């Protein structure tokens, strides 16, 4: 009987899902041929097949070794016993579909075979193309596409991890472009939290880009996050800071009272005053709240016998022009000018300090500072979502949420590069909470997550998801990671430092795209979070090529070493390495080779030229990398772009 060329060894021991395989003497060369195709034996990350009747068990090679015993007479190998360690990952009936998990285990002396391209085609090529998207091809077989199950990718959460320069942004952009295919997924809903403004160019054909100081000429839309859409804790952290325990209750009461007072201007809320809480989504004026709190603590009062301190007893200065009370202006964040207590003239004109017990002057001043600061206009002056002093607004949250998750494009990129870093983490948490609340409470509607799942993509996730942080963002993501599957809200975490992500959150990611990771701590964190026992496979991460990933988890049939498709240059994120030296161009003129620097070259080998550092400083001041020095359009972003302007 001729030898089966796919046979490489026999089972020697079984320990749970870990199987030890002793290689045959013919496998000592490390190479075998099947139907004219050569296959390397014993490659870490390669697959093996163990036939058990009508069922095939499949496993991944995680370790390769040879016995240390000295060479003995009649030994099959000069290196002693050759062996493999295999991690079982799934099974499939012959001619049927592959399924994860195993219903039976091999026994001693069961035969072990390599997995050929034909086997791989049966495993990876199965499934409806509507259910899978192609992200690349197998590193061991270019003809076999690497397919990802989008249902499990979206609802069971995922993570893309890898050191800087490993190809994470290209991988994420490629996945999102595939998910935004209008011929297959017309109702896809994806929101990208883009901290560094990398994805606008790559996703523009499929995405609406929202950013602070938006440039309409580039199709960008303004990013507004109305402060009144925040819950009490979120507003407090972003707007005021930490309060003393004794001040929390009184200021919280005034916060709720502001919403109740504004309710008459917002009947569509459908709430009675008794049902309004500090967390109710009711527009109110933060300017009026600041004004009232400032006056309560800082006002001076005329002492009137038999009359308690109130607005009627304010001791106000008079302006020099008309002798009118200097009441200030709440919308302009100008406080009233009160008379000092040294102005006492006689017993009929005594001026006293406020008797208020509040001691939150620092926090109220912080709120005033943010109300004045143009960097926070996206929140405290949010266009049509800005309430008047009595709480009336032109637009409700339905237009805002609808633009983010129900717009004409399947992807919304929230470009957060213009958000002040001091509030960025808390703001991300607030945005996540708003979106999740919308999907949660609308779960029985067609707009909810059950009918149309929502994918949230979080760039640089490690910056706000470490175990040491307990901010709004971390709490919101923990809730989504644990509960989001039931309500159609999925996460995709993108990070270059997975060890800094809370292990509770990372362990909830059903699929992991692990790219090159040199740091041992990062690799250990990823290995511990992966559902499969594939330590040997993850030990390969330091030597992966740029754009190569080990994909493990629920969205792939088998743990897969994949080469991610490289996107065309015009569809890549703005995250490529800067050019230090541009490649020299060579051309032939009259039979002579001439070398030259390409036109528009960057790097150190370009010609020396004068720099416009006045423009650099203007961009620093404006915090806008797209601003052009002397460009009238940049000075007035609402003005239509002239021909030739960018």
Cα separation, 287 vs 109, in Å, equals 79
Cβ contacts of 486 within 8 Å, gap of 6 or more: none
State whether 257 and 299 are in the same domain.
yes
State whether 190 and 265 are in the same domain.
no
The answer as to whether 421 is a domain residue is yes
State whether 314 and 278 are in the same domain.
yes
Cα separation, 241 vs 248, in Å, equals 11
Cα separation, 133 vs 55, in Å, equals 27
The answer as to whether 646 is a domain residue is no
State whether 348 and 482 are in the same domain.
no
Cβ density class 62-81: b for 16+ within 10 Å, e for less: bbbeeeeeeeeeeeeeeebe
State whether 534 and 427 are in the same domain.
yes
CB atoms within 10 A of CB 486: 12
The DSSP letter of residue 240 is I
Cβ density class 267-282: b for 16+ within 10 Å, e for less: eebebeeeebebebbb
The answer as to whether 25 is a domain residue is yes
pLDDT at 71: 46
Cα separation, 553 vs 44, in Å, equals 18
> Would strands 111-114 and 411-415 be described as parallel, antiparallel, or unpaired?
unpaired
Cα separation, 525 vs 520, in Å, equals 9
Residue segments in the chain with a per-residue pLDDT below the cut of 50: 69-76, 632-646
The answer as to whether 578 is a domain residue is no
> Would strands 454-458 and 489-495 be described as parallel, antiparallel, or unpaired?
parallel
State whether 278 and 339 are in the same domain.
yes
Cα separation, 479 vs 491, in Å, equals 11
β partners of residue 209: 413
Residue where a domain stops, chosen among 524, 541, 571: 571
Short-list 548, 523, 546, CA closest to 536: 523
Q: Distance from CA of residue 447 to its chain's centroid?
A: 22
Residue where a domain stops, chosen among 102, 126, 150: 126
Question: For 508, phi and psi rounded to 5 degrees?
Answer: -85, -5
Cβ contacts of 24 within 8 Å, gap of 6 or more: 7, 8, 9, 10, 76
The answer as to whether 242 is a domain residue is yes
pLDDT at 585: 56
Short-list 467, 483, 427, 505, CA closest to 159: 505
Degrees to nearest 5, angle at CA 580 with 577 and 586: 110
Short-list 228, 359, 369, CA closest to 290: 369
Degrees to nearest 5, angle at CA 167 with 420 and 504: 65
Cα separation, 158 vs 154, in Å, equals 7
Range of the domain at 115: 7-126
User: Residue 352 corresponds to which tokens in the numbers above?
Assistant: 């006293």
CB atoms within 10 A of CB 246: 11
State whether 246 and 212 are in the same domain.
no
Give the sign of the dihedral formed by CA 417, CA 419, CA 421, CA 426.
Answer: negative
**Residue that is written with structure tokens 């620092």 in the block:** 362
- When divided into structural domains, the chain yields a total of 3
pTM score > 0.75 for this model? Answer: yes
The answer as to whether 203 is a domain residue is yes
pLDDT at 469: 60
Cα separation, 154 vs 188, in Å, equals 11
Residue where a domain stops, chosen among 95, 126, 157: 126
The answer as to whether 395 is a domain residue is no
The answer as to whether 227 is a domain residue is no
Cβ contacts of 525 within 8 Å, gap of 6 or more: 498, 499, 501, 503, 506
pLDDT at 641: 40
Question: Residue 457: which H helix or E strand, with range?
Answer: strand 454-458
| Secondary structure of residue 175 in the 3-state scheme | helix
Cα separation, 348 vs 343, in Å, equals 12
**Residue that is written with structure tokens 């600061």 in the block:** 373
State whether 91 and 175 are in the same domain.
no
CATH of the domain at 145: 3.40.50.300
Cα separation, 162 vs 296, in Å, equals 53
Cβ contacts of 219 within 8 Å, gap of 6 or more: 204, 209
State whether 426 and 559 are in the same domain.
yes
pLDDT at 531: 65
User: Residue 134 corresponds to which tokens in the numbers above?
Assistant: 């192609």
State whether 368 and 410 are in the same domain.
no
State whether 198 and 99 are in the same domain.
no
User: Residue 256 corresponds to which tokens in the numbers above?
Assistant: 């709720």
HEC per residue, 491-549: EEEEECCHHHCCHHHHCCCCEEEECCCCCHHHHHHHHHHCCCCCHHHHCCHHHCCCCEE
| Contact call for residues 542 and 518 (beta carbons, < 8 A) | yes
Cα separation, 200 vs 559, in Å, equals 31
pLDDT at 592: 61
pLDDT at 635: 46
Short-list 124, 128, 160, CA closest to 455: 160
State whether 114 and 139 are in the same domain.
no
């Amino acid at each position: 009987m001729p030898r089966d060329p796919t046979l490489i060894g026999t089972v020697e021991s079984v320990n749970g899902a870990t199987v030890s395989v002793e290689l045959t003497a013919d496998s000592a060369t490390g190479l075998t041929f099947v139907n004219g195709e050569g296959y390397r034996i014993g490659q870490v990350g390669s697959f093996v097949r163990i036939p058990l009747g009508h069922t095939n068990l499949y496993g991944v090679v995680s370790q390769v070794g040879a016995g240390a015993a000295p060479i003995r007479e009649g030994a099959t190998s000069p290196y002693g016993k050759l062996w493999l360690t295999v991690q079982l990952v799934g099974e499939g009936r012959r001619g049927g579909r592959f399924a994860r998990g195993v219903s039976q285990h091999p026994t001693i002396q069961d035969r072990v075979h390599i997995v050929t391209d034909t086997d791989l085609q049966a495993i990876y090529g199965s499934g409806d193309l509507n259910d899978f998207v192609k992200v690349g091809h197998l590193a061991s077989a270019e003809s076999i596409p690497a397919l990802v199950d989008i249902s499990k990718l979206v609802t069971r959460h995922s993570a893309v991890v890898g050191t800087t320069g490993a190809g994470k942004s290209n991988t994420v952009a490629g996945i999102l472009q595939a998910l935004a295919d209008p011929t297959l997924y017309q109702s896809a809903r994806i929101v990208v939290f883009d901290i560094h403004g990398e994805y606008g160019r790559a996703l523009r054909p499929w995405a609406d880009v929202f950013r602070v100081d938006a440039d309409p000429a580039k199709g960008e839309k303004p990013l507004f996050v109305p402060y009144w859409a925040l819950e009490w804790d979120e507003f407090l952290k972003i707007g005021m800071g930490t309060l003393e325990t004794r001040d929390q209750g009184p200021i919280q009461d005034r916060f709720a009272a502001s919403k109740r007072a504004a309710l008459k201007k917002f009947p569509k809320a459908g709430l009675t005053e008794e049902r309004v809480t500090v967390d109710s989504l009711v527009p109110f004026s933060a300017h009026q709240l600041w004004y009232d709190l400032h006056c309560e603590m800082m006002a001076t009062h005329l002492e009137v016998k038999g009359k308690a301190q109130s607005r009627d007893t304010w001791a106000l200065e008079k302006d020099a022009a008309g002798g009118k009370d200097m009441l200030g202006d709440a919308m302009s964040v100008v406080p009233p000018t009160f008379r000092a207590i040294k102005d006492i003239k006689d017993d009929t004109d005594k001026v006293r300090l406020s008797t208020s017990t509040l001691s939150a002057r620092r926090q109220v001043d912080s709120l005033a500072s943010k109300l004045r600061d143009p960097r926070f206009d996206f929140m405290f002056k949010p266009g049509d979502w800005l309430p008047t002093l009595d709480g009336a607004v032109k637009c409700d949250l339905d237009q805002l949420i609808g633009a983010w998750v129900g717009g004409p494009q399947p992807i919304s990129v929230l470009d957060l590069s213009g958000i002040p870093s001091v509030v960025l983490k808390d703001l991300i948490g607030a945005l996540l909470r708003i979106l999740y609340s919308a999907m949660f409470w609308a779960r029985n509607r067609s707009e909810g997550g059950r009918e149309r799942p929502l994918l949230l993509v979080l760039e640089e996730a490690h910056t706000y998801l470490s175990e040491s942080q307990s901010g709004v963002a971390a709490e919101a993501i923990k809730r989504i990671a644990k509960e989001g599957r039931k309500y159609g809200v999925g996460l995709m975490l993108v990070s270059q430092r997975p060890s800094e992500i809370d292990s509770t959150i990372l362990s909830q990611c059903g699929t992991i795209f692990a790219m090159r990771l040199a740091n041992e701590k990062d690799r250990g964190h990823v290995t511990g979070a992966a559902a499969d026992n594939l330590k040997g496979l993850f030990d390969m991460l330091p030597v992966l090529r740029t754009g190569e990933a080990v994909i493990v988890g629920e969205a792939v049939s088998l743990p897969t070493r994949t080469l991610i498709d490289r996107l065309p240059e015009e569809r890549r994120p703005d995250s490529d390495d800067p050019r230090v030296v541009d490649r020299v161009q060579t051309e032939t003129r009259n039979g002579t080779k001439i070398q030259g620097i390409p036109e528009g070259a960057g790097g150190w080998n370009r010609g020396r030229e004068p720099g416009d550092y006045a423009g650099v400083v203007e961009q620093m001041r404006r915090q806008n990398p797209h601003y052009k020095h002397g460009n009238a359009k940049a000075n007035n972003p609402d003005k239509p772009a002239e021909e030739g302007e960018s």
